Structure formats: C-alpha cells, structure tokens
Structure 1
Amino acid sequence: MSDVTSEIANLRPLAQAEEQKAWYWYDWANSAYTTTIGTVFFGPYFINLAENAVGGEDGRFEVGSFSLPPDSLFFWLITVSTILSALVLPPLGAYADRVANKKRLLATLAWAGSFFAALIFFATGDNWLLAAVGIVFGNLFFGAAGVVNDSILPLISDESDRDRVSSRGWAFGYLGGGLLLVLNLGVYLGHEAIGLDEGLAARLCMLSAAAWWAGFTLIPFFRLSDHPPVDVEQVEGSAIRRSFGQLAATLRDMRNYPMALTFLLAYLFFNDGIQTVIASASVFGAEELGHSQTVLIATILMVQFVAFGGALFFGRLAGRLGAKRTILIGLGIWMVIVTVALWLPAGNVPLFLTLGAAIGIVLGGTQALARSYFSLLIPRGKEAEYFSFYHAMDRGTSWFGTATFGIVLAVTDSYRPAIFALIAFFLIGGLLLTRVDTERGIREAGNDLPAVI
C-alpha cells in the first residue's frame, strides 16, 4: 500500500509541470492587450476621436463647471477604470477563493475583457464614448482576470519553485506581447502599401490584440485543473453574500500577517515608481531628449524582448539569492536608471537605447518576483483575496507617482528632475522591503520554507 501511495505522490511534480505550461499561456495572451492597446495605439487614437467630437484640439468638453481639453479625457478614463478596479477586485477575490473551477472564472473574465476591447474597433469618427466604454471595462476585466490568474500560481507550484514559475510566466508574456506588437507595427507603418488608411490600420491592430487575448486564453481554460477551495469562511446566503462575508473575515484577519502587509506597503511605493517610469519614458524621450517616433518605437520593441530575458535571469538569480535580495538588487538598478536619466544627453540614441535595455532587464524581473514573493506571505485558501488587495494597491494608488512627476515637472519645467524625483519611490519601497522578515512571514502564513529565502 505504501508503494502505491509513493508512486501516486511522485506524479504530482509532473502534473504541476503540465499546469505550469498551461498557465504560462495566459501571460502570453493578456500581454497583447497591454502592449498593443494600452501602450501604443489606444491613447493617440482615442485623443483623435475626442478632438473630432469638439471640432479639433482647441475644442473643450464642458462637464458641469469643468472645461476639459480633449487630450485630458484619456487620463480621466484611466482614472475611472483604476478606481473601479480598486472597488471591484477585493470582493471578486473573495468569490474566486470559494470557486474550484478557477480556470472557467479566469476565462470568463478574460473573454469579457476582450469583448470590450474589441468594441474599440467600431469607434470611428467622433464616437469617443464607445471607445471609452471599451477601454474602461477592458481594463476592469483585465485586472479582474489578473487577480484570478495570480491566485492560481500558489496552487500549481511549490514554495521553492514559485520564483521560477512566476518569472517564466512574465517572460512568456513579454515574448507574446512583443511578437504581436512587431506584427501590428508592421501593419500600421506600412498601411498605405496594403491599402489601409491610418485609422483603420490602428483599429485592426487593436482588434487583433483583443482576438489574441481571447484566443490564447483557450489554452489555460482547457489544460488547467480544478482546485477545491480550502479554509473558506462558513457564511450563509447567496454567492455574493458569502463572498462579502469572506472578505470581511479576511480584513479582520489581515493583522495576523504583518509581513504581508509590510510588503504590500513596500510594493505600493516601488511599483508606483516602476509604473510611472514606464508611463513617462516615451514623453521623456520625445520632449526632453528630442528623439523621433521611430527611435521611440524601436526602444519599446527592444524593451519587450530584453524584458523576456531579464525576467528569466532574475528568476535564476532568485534561485541563488532569494526573491527578497533579488528584488532589492532590482530596485537599486531602478535608482541608477532614474539618476542616469537626469544627466542623459539629448539626441544621443545609443545611450537612450542602453537605458531602455537596462529598464527591460529589471522590468519583468522585479514584477515577477514581487508576485511570487507575496504568494509566500499569504495564507492558503485566500490567495485570490490577497492578490485582489495586491492588484488594488497597484491600481488604486498608481496616481502617486504620476502626481509627483507632474508636480515636479510643473515646478521645474523640466522632465529630468521630474523623472529623477521617482528615486524616492524606489528608496522608500526598498527600505520598507528590508523590514520584511521573510522567514517569519512564511511561517505566519502557514507555508513551507523554500530552499532559499
């Protein structure tokens, strides 16, 4: 009997490996939305729609006592979707923890997001409202699916394997997003040669990202396994009422996991710094350094593919040094990056590309390891709830960095001190991270200690 049990137990790593391969495909799927729609095409296309609606770039949207220029409407949309995500994700996480068929929930949310993303294709002329609905709900469902996807990570990997699996997922995502972006930029830049006008080319590129997201989500949907929920709160009532009851119990219980809370606070700061650098890099390159659109596009593509290798490298480094030390190394590199940006000479393409390569190396690595490290500090059975707070922290406070950037820019009238000011976010985040006792946090959460911490 013991031989049979041992033989069955030995099959678990093989089953986990198969699920991990399936799980990687969701990062491949959803990265197309981030790169093609979020990073490159939607912003300029939406601003054009908004300008058409008010008769040009000098027109205004009158909203109550506010008079808004058309290009500012885009940033208000992102703010709305961010606030919605921060409100919706925690109860969704509580619901997801009570669901055995997480792969179906993941796919349903992803397909809903891709549907709204596809609506952008039909927004033409001055129909900015349809595009607004598409991006707001596309972002909302993107974040919701991300919560479920991240909550699956602890279910398909052991503590010692978590950094490697998370890093491979991020790397796979950068590769997928980069490949589709190459194809889409080829279509967009060569639209005249293939008989398309510029607007139609942009819409087709965004539609392809929605289809890519929906299509490749089929792989985890069919190949992931169900995982029965554990340690759920016994709450009576409907699924929604039980989810809110679970959420309330978790909020009361969070004080028992101070290391997880300290990490969330550290993540608030350093992730805000990362997101603000990424959001402002193109504007910095164009406005402060005077680089052409061609150079900026080439840099974006390079960052995607360098980030693929960077995520894998950081995953291996974490296997030797532990995730916490590796994240701290990454934050040190981020501080060097924003310091170099302060002195980067205008018009120097090789140095700008070198800085972009440095960003690519640490971008995927720090984000992937933050995900796997946090998963060690949270209790079993409540992965989705805690990852919902993780994503809500990401989205609900993401304006801190951009506000700092904007204030410094307004005071100094220069992008250089504005981007250098972000060093404070990496410094504070790193200092808070040093206060996380990894071994204590893992034990408090009831998880096993990995071989290297």
Structure 2
Amino acid sequence: MSEAPATTAEGAEPAARRREQRAWYFYDWANSAYVTTVATVLLGPYLTSVANRAACPGVDADDCTRDLHVLGLPISPGSLFFYTTTFATILSALVLPVVGAAADRSGRKRVLLGAFAWAGAAATCLLWFLDGTAWGLGVAVVVVAALCLGSSLVVYDALLIEIATPEERDRVSSRGWALGYLGGFLLLAVNLAVVTLHDSLGLTQSQAVRLSLLSAGVWWGAFTLVPVLGLRDRPPVNLVATSGPAVREAFVQLRVTLRELRGYPQAFRFLLAYLFFNDGIQTVITSSSVYGSEQLDLGTTQLIVTILLVQAVAFGGALVFGRLAARYGARDVVLGGLALWLVVIVIGFFLPARQFALWLALAVLIGVVLGGTQALSRSMFSHLVPRGREAEFFSLYQACERGTSWFGTLVFGLVHQLTDSYRPAILALVVFFVVGGLLLRTVDVRAGTEQAGNRAPELL
C-alpha cells in the first residue's frame, strides 16, 4: 500500500480542531462510567461477595475460610477479582499491539473506536445477570470489558495526535480526563441514590448494585456516539509495504515497529517507567473499594461517597496539573505527582479501620494527583510517537493503562493470599512508584521528540 498524504492537526483550521477536540473529550466522559461505577467501586466488592457465597454457601463472608477452585487451582475469594484483572491484562498485552497495528493501517480509527466501545458496553450490561453464586459470569465480563476498553483506548489516545498540535496536547489531554471525571461523578451520584434508597425503590441491595452496573454499560455505549459522529478519519501514512489478509498485514507492521523501537530509546524508557508507576496507580484505583470494605470495614454507601469525592476533586486536579505543565513542563509535574502518590500509600497503610473522616481526607489527596498524572503522561508520550505509528505505540502504552494493570494486581493478590491482610498488600505498591519515578527522571522528552521526527513545543 502506498503512502497517503497526511492531514495533520497543524494543517487544520483552529475552529475545526476545536470541534473535533470537543467530540474527542466525550469518549473520556463515556468510558469513565465503566471505570468508576464498575471497575473501581462496585464490581470488586460485589464479585468478591458472589465468590464468597460460592465458596462457603450459607456462611457469613467474614467467616469463609474455603477457596474456590478454578481450573484445579485454589483461589481465595478475596483475590479472585485481582487475579481476573491480571489475566485480562496479560491477554491484553498479546492482543492490543495487533489492534494498534491494524488501526494504523485501517484509516478508520473512529469506526474502530465505536466498535470496541459498544462491544465493551454490551458485555458490561450483562452484569445485570450476575447474581447468586454465578462468579464465572463476572470473571468473563471483567476479561471481555477490559479487552474492549483497552482496545478502544488505544485508538482514542492515538487520535490525540491527529486533533491537537504539540502545544495543545497537555491542555486537550487534561480537559479530556477532567470531563471523564465529571461524567463518572454524575453517574455514580445517581447510583449512590439507587444503592442507598434501594428499599424505597422496591429493590434488594443486590438488584440496586446490578442496576447500577447495567447503567454504566448503557452510559458507555450511548455517549460513544458523540466522538464517533464528531471525529473524522484520516488516511494512513508511513505504512510498511506488505500484502495478504488484514491480520497478517497488522502482524508484519507490528514486527517492524517493535524492531524499530530500538531507534526510539526515550520512548522505550518512558514506557518502562510508565509500566511501573501506572501499575501502582491502577492497582490503588482497582483495590481501593476492596481495601475500604474488607480492611477498613467501610460500607458500600461510604465507598461510593468516597469515589464521588475523588471524582469531584480529580476534575479540578486534572485542569490544575494541565496549567502547571504549561509553566513547569509535563515531566517535572508528573514527578511531583508520583511523590504525592507515595504519601497516599503510606497514609493508607496506617489508616485505622472505621475512620471515615480520615478516609475522606485521603480521598481528597488521591483526587488531586489522580487525573493530572494520567493526563500529562498521555500527552507527554504523544510527543515521542513517530507519525503513522500512533495506535501501535499507544497500544504498548495502553497495555499498562487504567483498568489493565497486571504487575500491581498480581503483587496485591499474592501478598493478600500470603498474609491474609490487605495492609501489607497496599504497602508493597511503594516499589512501583519509586522505580517508575527513578526511570522517568532519566527520560529526555525533547531528545525523544526529535528522535520521533516531531516538532517539539517550547516547553516539555
């Protein structure tokens, strides 16, 4: 296939860029419903309770001492959700790079974005049927939804390069994350009312939780229409000449990209740093509701209130971090955010049980650093990506992005199973932030931008 002329963000009229950027923001709004309501708040504790009922029928969850047996392996019900997330991410590591290569070759990124998002949303809607001891359905949905979310985000992140100039990317990425937190906040607020008032609504608590899970799937699918209709496709560029079925072409493209990655050492170093510190962030997010309910003895309503607070603070935090990046550079601001994450881990380890006010204070600190570190990491990496390889490079980035962490969840699950406590499990995450921060300090973003053949903004 011959190279087609590129339509870059810098060649578009400012008004046209802004229209596409506004449409692009809404995918953060759409998928955050799944990330907050399902992956962060409700599914972990709910799937754990379903697994406990399956392992110990008729026994209170706190008194359950038996394991589930999955493919002949003994699995603690309290670790099932984390092991499932780990498996989904390992599978993603194999699938997402091929998705990225196919997306770069297709020239139809917005169509692929919609297809992956709607498949994930449909799987999430099936959680309405997660009841009794049917933990297998929950495991299947976690795997399918994580794969679809990761695939859609590969395409979504790659589109940032097509719709924003280098000077705009920190701002655009931060606004997308901020809108995502606002959307997650609004739906979770409704779900808080449903779960809290389930008796008044004539629902059992199980029905209220399952209805909330269903609402996240509907929200994800419905609002994906905005970017699908508001973005436009660009022709692919810098393709590797090959022939044969589309899958074979994608594998050939991927093989060439992986071989050429050695020529982009700053991008490789950033990915290595991101693998560590983002695994730490994702594991904190994924494990927070289980840690709060099982270790600190907090109720479902308290956990939902906590996440609402995090979402509200993160909306402002993402915007503030975007402004700080414009003054100090994205890399240094992210390094400061990682130092604050270490403070979060240490406070969480020592936090006493049933101290809701202290738990909320910790949630405020999490909200301040959560959106900013993630938004600026995305825009920082966009400068290191060579033209025509956007989705492929972001597929590697997305392998350790939100909801697909696997080193962290594996360590968290193993430490819990060995110690029967979540406190040492949360403390073990310190190593991810320390190693990730030290590696990030070695990344020269300006040199990496030049290696990728991109124009560097004045401040990086």
Taking structure 1 as the reference length, the TM-score comes to 0.91
Structure 1 range deviating more: 417-426 or 440-449: 417-426
Contact 1:50 1:128 survives alignment (8 Å): yes
One-letter amino acid of the structure 2 residue matched with residue 267 of structure 1:
Y
One-letter amino acid of the structure 1 residue matched with residue 287 of structure 2:
S
Quote how far apart the aligned CAs of 1:412 are. 7.2
Task: Determine the C-alpha separation between the residues in 2 that align with 1:404 and 1:54.
Answer: 23
Q: What are the residue-to-residue correspondences of 1:321-340 with 2, within 5 Å?
A: 321-340=328-347
Task: Determine the C-alpha separation between the residues in 2 that align with 1:226 and 1:434.
Answer: 36
| Alignment pair present for 1:173 and 2:180 | yes
Contact 1:260 1:378 survives alignment (8 Å): yes
| Alignment pair present for 1:99 and 2:100 | no
Over residues 88-144 of structure 1, what are the superposed CA-to-partner deviations in whole Å (9 max), with x where a residue is unaligned?
100110000012221111001111111111122234444433333333211111111
Which residue number corresponds to residue 89 of structure 2?
82
Q: What are the residue-to-residue correspondences of 1:150-299 with 2, within 5 Å?
A: 150-286=157-293, 288-299=295-306
1:341 to 345, 348, 365: 348
| Alignment pair present for 1:447 and 2:448 | no
Return 5+ residue gaps in structure 1 as ranges: 1-8
Quote how far apart the aligned CAs of 1:336 are. 2.4
Q: 1:255–1:110: structure 2 CA closer, same or farther, 3 Å change rule?
A: same
Q: 1:272–1:345: structure 2 CA closer, same or farther, 3 Å change rule?
A: same
| Alignment pair present for 1:148 and 2:155 | yes
Q: What are the residue-to-residue correspondences of 1:4-43 with 2, within 5 Å?
A: 12-43=13-44
Quote how far apart the aligned CAs of 1:408 are. 5.8
Contact 1:266 1:430 survives alignment (8 Å): yes
Which residue number corresponds to residue 4 of structure 1?
none
One-letter amino acid of the structure 2 residue matched with residue 42 of structure 1:
L
| Alignment pair present for 1:367 and 2:368 | no
Task: Determine the C-alpha separation between the residues in 2 that align with 1:71 and 1:416.
Answer: 14
Quote how far apart the aligned CAs of 1:80 are. 2.6
| Alignment pair present for 1:353 and 2:354 | no
Which residue number corresponds to residue 401 of structure 1?
408
Structure 1 range deviating more: 281-290 or 303-312: 281-290
Task: Determine the C-alpha separation between the residues in 2 that align with 1:448 and 1:275.
Answer: 31
Task: Determine the C-alpha separation between the residues in 1 that align with 2:173 and 2:36.
Answer: 19
Quote how far apart the aligned CAs of 1:396 are. 11
Quote how far apart the aligned CAs of 1:260 are. 0.2
Quote how far apart the aligned CAs of 1:350 are. 3.4
Contact 2:87 2:406 survives alignment (8 Å): no
Contact 2:128 2:214 survives alignment (8 Å): yes
1:119 to 104, 114, 126: 126
Task: Determine the C-alpha separation between the residues in 2 that align with 1:280 and 1:195.
Answer: 30
Quote how far apart the aligned CAs of 1:37 are. 1.4
Contact 2:21 2:172 survives alignment (8 Å): yes
Which residue number corresponds to residue 318 of structure 1?
325
Quote how far apart the aligned CAs of 1:73 are. 3.7
Structure 1 range deviating more: 371-380 or 328-337: 328-337
Residue aligned with 1:98, SS: helix
Quote how far apart the aligned CAs of 1:241 are. 1.1
Q: 1:60–1:240: structure 2 CA closer, same or farther, 3 Å change rule?
A: same
Task: Determine the C-alpha separation between the residues in 2 that align with 1:67 and 1:408.
Answer: 15
Residue aligned with 2:106, SS: coil
Quote how far apart the aligned CAs of 1:50 are. 3.9
One-letter amino acid of the structure 1 residue matched with residue 336 of structure 2:
I
Task: Determine the C-alpha separation between the residues in 2 that align with 1:27 and 1:278.
Answer: 17
Return 5+ residue gaps in structure 2 as ranges: 1-9
Taking structure 2 as the reference length, the TM-score comes to 0.90
Structure 1 range deviating more: 13-22 or 198-207: 198-207
Q: What are the residue-to-residue correspondences of 1:362-441 with 2, within 5 Å?
A: 362-394=369-401, 398-405=405-412, 415-416=422-423, 418-441=425-448
Query: What is the identity percentage for the equivalent residue pairs of Structure 1 and Structure 2?
Result: 53
Residue aligned with 2:167, SS: helix
Residue aligned with 1:158, SS: coil
Over residues 309-368 of structure 1, what are the superposed CA-to-partner deviations in whole Å (9 max), with x where a residue is unaligned?
100110111111111111111112112222333444555443332221011010000011
Task: Determine the C-alpha separation between the residues in 2 that align with 1:40 and 1:105.
Answer: 28
Residue aligned with 1:451, SS: coil
Contact 2:446 2:456 survives alignment (8 Å): yes
Which residue number corresponds to residue 308 of structure 1?
315
Task: Determine the C-alpha separation between the residues in 2 that align with 1:30 and 1:243.
Answer: 26
Q: 1:328–1:406: structure 2 CA closer, same or farther, 3 Å change rule?
A: same
Task: Determine the C-alpha separation between the residues in 1 that align with 2:224 and 2:355.
Answer: 41
Structure 1 range deviating more: 415-424 or 347-356: 415-424
Residue correspondences, number: 445
Q: 1:113–1:343: structure 2 CA closer, same or farther, 3 Å change rule?
A: closer
Task: Determine the C-alpha separation between the residues in 1 that align with 2:242 and 2:300.
Answer: 56
Q: 1:311–1:224: structure 2 CA closer, same or farther, 3 Å change rule?
A: same
One-letter amino acid of the structure 2 residue matched with residue 43 of structure 1:
G
Task: Determine the C-alpha separation between the residues in 2 that align with 1:259 and 1:331.
Answer: 19
Contact 2:266 2:384 survives alignment (8 Å): yes
Quote how far apart the aligned CAs of 1:385 are. 0.2
Over residues 58-81 of structure 1, what are the superposed CA-to-partner deviations in whole Å (9 max), with x where a residue is unaligned?
565444543445454433432332
Which residue number corresponds to residue 6 of structure 1?
none
Quote how far apart the aligned CAs of 1:176 are. 0.3
Task: Determine the C-alpha separation between the residues in 1 that align with 2:318 and 2:45.
Answer: 29
One-letter amino acid of the structure 2 residue matched with residue 198 of structure 1:
Q
Over residues 176-198 of structure 1, what are the superposed CA-to-partner deviations in whole Å (9 max), with x where a residue is unaligned?
01110110121121111011222
Task: Determine the C-alpha separation between the residues in 2 that align with 1:285 and 1:165.
Answer: 33
Q: 1:427–1:62: structure 2 CA closer, same or farther, 3 Å change rule?
A: closer
Structure 1 range deviating more: 137-146 or 281-290: 281-290
